[in-house]
Amino acid sequence: MKCFSIYNYLIVLCFLSLIETALGQKSLEVKPRHHITLKQAHQGTPYIDSLLLESYGQPKSNILAFYLESRTIFEQEKAAFTDPKFIALTEKHQIDLISGPMLGDVQPDGITFWLRPAHLEPLQLNIHTASGTLVNSYPFKHKKPGETYRIKVDKLHSATFYKYEILSDNKLVANGRFKTVPKEGTKTETRIAFSSGFHKIGLHNPNLIETILDREPTAMLLLGDLAVDDRDTQWGLHRADYLLRDVAPAFKKLATHIPLYAGWDDHDYLNNDLSGLPKGVTEEDRDSLRTLWRDNWNNPKNLGEGIYFNTQIGDVEIIMLDTRSCRDLKKRGRYGSYLGEEQMTWLKKVLQKSTSKFKIISSGTMWSDYVTKAKDSWGTWDTKAREEIFSLIEQEKINGVLLISGDRHGARAFTLPQPSGFEFHEFEVASMGGVPGPPAMAEDNSHQLFGYDGLGLKAFGEFTFNTKRKKPEIIFRLIDETGAILEKHVLSYKQLSP
């Protein structure tokens, strides 16, 4: 009878899972007009970029012309968003906001807006409650057209939805909504989405973006290979790719509704599998690239020399690493070659000081060595540093650690067994662009929870942190662009406690 009860219980669980998947699934609302391959995205010619902009529908009449004319200016290496020729194009095509708003650095009592105004006319940000009551107004005027501007909004209530609008001379130029995060220690459910591998292609996919918005995550972590594709040290083309991102209606909708936290990987950095200071790249080039990155994303204030930071979302500490620019090519395979000594010291201090119940640690490329034999990740660069991090977490009983990664197109999850018997959990989702990559399953898949190859898979990962339960738990879901839940895995807090 006991076996029969367990059997029935398993049937019910499977049935409920099928219902959840069916309820979440929806038919594609917009079918792509153009199918851009990864090779074409890497080429990034004006023609290919125009196809990307038109891939899910015809953009507004002035936007395509504005982008293509701007692209000719940005093909000059030193051209910037403040270039008078570029600003003249914003006037010609009646552009008020070149970029943004992009939400980021969300707190229990506030949030930061990032934007790039096209002119010096005063703008005004109005914050409203969900019911429409005006909370506060932030009039602002900046010094130079084309420069980025950040507005820090405060004095809000925690775990609360707000609406906002940005006006120029009483004309609406942008609007959206957001939700502040819960205070640490609040018994609640917190959803955090994550993925990588837009490769410019996925930035234009309204089906994928709408599905993310439907899930209402508190924030989304983007782990690299995002807007810029293989531009090496051609700074003007980096800016052209960011402009293409910012005029894409789908990405604009994501950025105006969900706080984003971004880390880079090889294609954002320079080119495929490049890192550190490869031949022909100077320290000055790296500094310029870091500045360019920071100027075009809305991350919390950078605390290290590279592009790495930590922040708090309720009971979850987000720790995003720079696994590209701090690498030392001369020390490859030796301690300190992957994160660099300064970032490594910072990471250990952050982990030791953390009071958060949960921690998400991101790596641009994989923590484990299962896929493509770690050809460009921790396993061939710095296994000693990786083991030092893992040992620190175990020895000091730093509970609630989840590892996330990107780079290897597709979606996979692994356990990383330690000599003590404890297992770390890594979720690798790199499928925002639906591009091909390694096989779904690793050669050694004895520790693999699931695997999907990248071809055609347009999906993201989602963690739900539930602290309302007596025993906290985390639910991971892999969700495709139709809303179908492809994978669901429940982890107890005990499983994440050394």
Angle at 253 between CA 435 and CA 434, to 5 degrees: 5
* Phi and psi based region of residue 202 (left: phi greater than 0; alpha: psi -120 to 50; beta: remaining): alpha
pLDDT at 3 over 50: no
Q: What percent of the chain has pLDDT over 90?
A: 88
DSSP 118: S
Domains detected in the chain: 38-178 (2.60.40.380), 188-496 (3.60.21.70)
pLDDT at 8 over 70: no
Task: Give the whole-angstrom CA distance, residue 254 versus residue 178.
Answer: 11
Q: How confident is the model at residue 24 (pLDDT cuts 50, 70, 90)?
A: low
H/E element, 280 = none
Task: Give the whole-angstrom CA distance, residue 389 versus residue 429.
Answer: 22
Find where tokens 């990034």 sit: 44
Angle at 192 between CA 190 and CA 194, to 5 degrees: 170
Q: Residue 11 has which token pair? A: 């049937």
Task: Give the whole-angstrom CA distance, residue 457 versus residue 450.
Answer: 14
Nearest to 319 by CA among 420, 404, 200: 404
pLDDT digits (tens, 9 = 90+) for 406-435: 999 999 999 999 999 999 999 999 999 999
Taking every pair of Cα atoms in the chain, the longest distance, rounded to a whole number of angstroms, is 80
* Phi and psi based region of residue 168 (left: phi greater than 0; alpha: psi -120 to 50; beta: remaining): beta
Cα 234 vs. chain centroid, distance in angstroms?
23
| In contact, 97 and 173? CB cutoff 8 Å | yes
Mean pLDDT in the chain?
93
What is the structure's pLDDT at 76?
Answer: 84
| In contact, 308 and 269? CB cutoff 8 Å | no
Task: Give the whole-angstrom CA distance, residue 301 versus residue 286.
Answer: 19
3-state secondary structure 292-311: HHHHHCCCCCCCCCCCCEEE
DSSP 58: P
Q: Residue 297 has which token pair? A: 């994303």
| In contact, 172 and 165? CB cutoff 8 Å | yes
More confident position, 16 or 424: 424
Q: How confident is the model at residue 459 (pLDDT cuts 50, 70, 90)?
A: very high
What is the structure's pLDDT at 61?
Answer: 80
Q: What percent of the chain has pLDDT over 70?
A: 94
pLDDT digits (tens, 9 = 90+) for 108-162: 999 999 999 999 999 999 999 999 999 999 998 888 999 999 999 999 999 999 9
Task: Please compute the mean of the pLDDT values over residues 84-98 and round it to a whole number.
Answer: 96
More confident position, 57 or 126: 126
Find where tokens 């502040």 sit: 180
pLDDT digits (tens, 9 = 90+) for 218-266: 999 999 999 999 999 999 999 999 999 999 999 999 999 999 999 999 9
Pick the range with the lowest mean pLDDT from 17-21, 50-54, 310-314, 317-321. 17-21
Task: Give the whole-angstrom CA distance, residue 430 versus residue 423.
Answer: 22
